Amino acid sequence: MTQIGLPDGVRACLFDLDGVLTPTAKIHAAAWKEMFDSFLRDLDGDGFRPFDVVADYDTYVDGRPRADGVRTFLASRDIELPEGEEDDPPTARTVHGLGNRKNELVLRKIREEGVAPYPGSVHYLEAVRTAGLRTAVVSSSANCKDVVASAGIEHLLDARVDGNTAKERGLRGKPKPDTFLAAADELGVAAGEAVVFEDALVGMDAGREGHFGYVVGVDRVGQADELRRHGADTVVKDLAELIGEQA
């Protein structure tokens, strides 16, 4: 399947959303920073160490389910909070409260800024479907359906496995491969017949642990070497490169 840059025998493509199909990773990173900086300022005063929108985002929250991202980042700062409940208000100083505050910020930013897909990703989705492959979006976000609809790419995706799916089915989030395996199952293919497309290091880990046929790392932020170390078979800056187009 040289025309779409994938090995022979592939039957399905499993795409992460944020940073792969849409530039919403930037929106998520900005929301995490706004939420954590406000929390840390209240905790430590003006001398607080801000959330790093690159290093902290990539290491502790990118690609993880929301509550896991809160826990992982707080643990990096030796901060413990009660878990709270999933419906905690955004003002609650709990893991779920902070997560809900971040989600509130994301939804506001999406409403205000809108979502447009990466043009190269749209071209690639069209190419793989023309080649007869099935497609799915796999995201830890509970807002995946709304983002896909806002981006206008619903018609290019055969299945969706997102944060809501994971909650309903008890699927573990990345770096575990559960959500990608569920998507492959929905498309009726074995893991070895599916390709994972991810920009997050935990997504690479999920692709490797799930024994998928091929893993494509999408490097939007200059971490190509890290993506390879975490299991990428190939790394591109934009999916258009796989079909010989310029990003």
Is 58 part of the annotated catalytic residue set? Answer: no
Which is the catalytic residue, given 8, 16, 58, 68?
16
Is 8 part of the annotated catalytic residue set? Answer: no
Which is the catalytic residue, given 18, 56, 162, 199?
18
Q: Quick one: three-class SS letters along 163-179? A: HHHHHHHCCCCCCCCHH
Catalytic annotation, residues: 16, 18
